[in-house]
Amino acid sequence: MKRLVLAAALLAASPALAFQCPADMAAIDAALATATLSAEDLARVKELRAEGERLHAAGDHQASVDALAEAKRLLGIE
């Protein structure tokens, strides 16, 4: 029974995460326009942004959210 509840919760969360990814990518894109980062951090943010988009397209939304969250952290946005 616990496994059934856990599986249902995970299935319910997946669509919500799918909608979060594009919003996170848009926030990153907007912040990049005015970001003052080192070349290394800027490259890392762009790499994480691309990885997040790739993972989102592949349907791995949790991994996408995680990658995009790291990019947002480097940019100093929530």
Residues whose CB falls within 8 Å of the CB of residue 67, separated by 6 or more in sequence, listed in order: 48, 51, 52, 55
Residues whose CB falls within 8 Å of the CB of residue 49, separated by 6 or more in sequence, listed in order: 25, 28, 29, 32, 68, 71
The pTM score is 0.75
Per-residue pLDDT tens, the chain, 78 aa: give them.
655 444 444 444 445 555 688 999 999 999 999 999 999 999 999 999 999 999 999 999 999 999 999 999 999 997
CA–CA dist 50, 32 (Å, integer): 13
Residues whose CB falls within 8 Å of the CB of residue 71, separated by 6 or more in sequence, listed in order: 28, 44, 45, 48, 49, 52
Domain extents for the chain? 2-75
